[in-house]
């Protein structure tokens, strides 16, 4: 265990001292702050609009019963934070995974590590744990910013349930980012030309994070109109299901496309926990997880697969690429 901790400590120190990583971290935190500020301004505008509408109605001699007051769900403001974690969090995972292997390979220190009396999987696990710490630190700082801005600056105190939901979102964010870390580590181990590993990682990132979710969204009939096609057409849920029943094959292809992306699973789960979709607002964590267990399972499997593979590769002897 001591050897694993030694490797993990060194890995974390290396990553935290890397300039590229620090730039990405600062960029991510800036986006988190901006997204919350923008979301809170948007909510304030809604409140102002509502108050104005109430005044107009009252001046006309009517009551305010006919319009709904905007409901404040603070977690809903974090929608963009999830969007940024989807994109930039994945990039941070890729960069950490790449640095974790490329630095050792570039300096020939991988041979030194492998020639030590350490089990090979212990080296892999040390690297995974060290970078897990770094990712948790990133998420912890982001959470601190979120809590600080919402609570102290915005005056929106989160309830215990909301804090729990937020923590769950960050646990799944960790699993999501580690998927990209593991994937890039594997590619960096396997590829002789490290640049190719980085290039392929970004192609995978592009497909998983941007292209597949985009295809899924574009194919979704309900997404054709802002606010939802069926809602705009005043079509009831039962009727909507009946209509969609005629497009089973189409829906199967669309759903399968989305299911292949960890980003989509992570997004569905996080949005449900944050109550981005109104139907999940006010629901308990248990009820949300009961509804979204499938997405949670997939995020967990996506997280496990590359990390487990990385440990297996480390355990294998033929790890060195630069042969005589």
Partner 1 sequence: MSKSSAIIDIQSLTKKYKETIALNNLNLQVERGEIFGFLGHNGAGKTTTVNILTTLLAPTSGRAFICGFNVEKEGLEIRKRIGYLPENVKFYENLTAGENLEFFAKLSGIEKPEEKIKSVLNFLDFQKFENKKISQFSKGMRQRIGIAQAIIHDPEVLFLDEPTSGLDPMGVRNLREIILKLNKEKNITIFMNTHLLSEVAKTCTTIGVLGHGELIYKDTLKQTMERFKDENSLETIYFNLDTK
| Interacting residue ranges for partner 1, rule: CB under 8 A | 2-3, 6-7, 10, 14, 17, 106-109, 111-119, 317-320, 323-324
**Vertex 188, ends 185 and 192: CA angle to 5°?**
160
Q: Which is nearer to partner 1, 55 or 116 (CB)?
A: 116
Q: Which is nearer to partner 1, 253 or 319 (CB)?
A: 319
Question: Which residues are within 8 A (CB) of 249 and not within 5 positions of it... i.e. 6 or more apart?
Answer: none
Minimum CB separation of residue 119 from partner 1 in Å reads 7
Q: Which is nearer to partner 1, 129 or 244 (CB)?
A: 129
Minimum CB separation of residue 309 from partner 1 in Å reads 19
Q: Which is nearer to partner 1, 17 or 61 (CB)?
A: 17
Buried b / exposed e across 1-17, counting CB within 10 Å, b at 16+?
eeebeebbeebbebbee
Q: Report the length, in residues, of the chain.
A: 324
Q: Which of 164, 124, 123, 125 is nearest to 143 (CA)?
A: 164
Question: Which residues are within 8 A (CB) of 55 and not within 5 positions of it... i.e. 6 or more apart?
Answer: none
Minimum CB separation of residue 319 from partner 1 in Å reads 7
Minimum CB separation of residue 109 from partner 1 in Å reads 6
Report how far residue 276's alpha carbon sits from residue 80's, in angstroms, rounded to the nearest whole number: 10
Q: Which of 297, 281, 279, 218 is nearest to 250 (CA)?
A: 218
Minimum CB separation of residue 49 from partner 1 in Å reads 54
Dig out the tokens for 237 from the structure: 């849920």
Q: Which is nearer to partner 1, 18 or 240 (CB)?
A: 18
Q: Can you say how many angstroms the Cα of residue 69 is from the centroid of all Cα atoms in its chain?
A: 31
Minimum CB separation of residue 213 from partner 1 in Å reads 38
Dig out the tokens for 320 from the structure: 């060195």
Q: Which is nearer to partner 1, 248 or 316 (CB)?
A: 316
Dig out the tokens for 258 from the structure: 């989305």
DSSP 69: P
């Amino acid at each position: 265990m001591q050897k694993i901790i030694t490797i993990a400590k060194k890995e974390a120190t290396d990553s935290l001292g890397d300039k590229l990583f620090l730039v990405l971290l600062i960029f991510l935190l800036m986006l988190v702050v901006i997204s919350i500020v923008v979301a809170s301004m948007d909510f304030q505008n809604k409140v102002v609009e509502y108050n104005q509408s109430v005044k107009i109605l009252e001046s006309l001699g009517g009551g305010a019963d006919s319009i709904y007051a905007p409901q404040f769900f603070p977690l809903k403001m974090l929608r963009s934070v999830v969007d940024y974690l989807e994109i930039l969090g994945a990039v941070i995972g890729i960069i950490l995974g790449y640095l974790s292997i490329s630095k050792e390979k570039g300096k020939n220190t991988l041979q030194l590590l492998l020639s030590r009396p350490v089990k090979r999987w212990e080296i892999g696990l040390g690297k995974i744990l060290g970078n897990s710490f770094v990712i948790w630190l990133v998420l912890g700082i982001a959470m601190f910013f979120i809590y600080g801005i919402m609570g102290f600056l915005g005056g929106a105190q989160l309830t215990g349930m909301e804090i729990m939901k937020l923590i769950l979102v960050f646990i799944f964010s960790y699993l999501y980012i580690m998927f990209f870390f593991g994937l890039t580590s594997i590619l960096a181990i396997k590829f002789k030309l490290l640049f190719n590993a980085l290039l392929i990682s970004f192609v995978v990132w592009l497909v998983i994070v941007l292209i597949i979710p985009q295809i899924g969204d574009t194919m979704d009939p309900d997404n054709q109109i802002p606010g939802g096609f069926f809602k705009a057409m005043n079509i009831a849920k039962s009727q909507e299901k009946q209509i969609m029943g005629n497009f089973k094959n189409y829906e199967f292809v669309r759903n399968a496309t989305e299911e292949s992306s960890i980003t989509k699973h992570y997004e569905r789960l996080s949005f449900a926990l944050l109550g981005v979709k109104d139907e999940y607002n006010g629901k308990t964590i248990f009820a949300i997880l009961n509804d979204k267990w499938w997405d949670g399972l997939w995020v967990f499997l996506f997280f496990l697969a590359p990390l487990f593979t990385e440990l297996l590769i480390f355990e294998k002897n033929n790890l060195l690429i630069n042969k005589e």
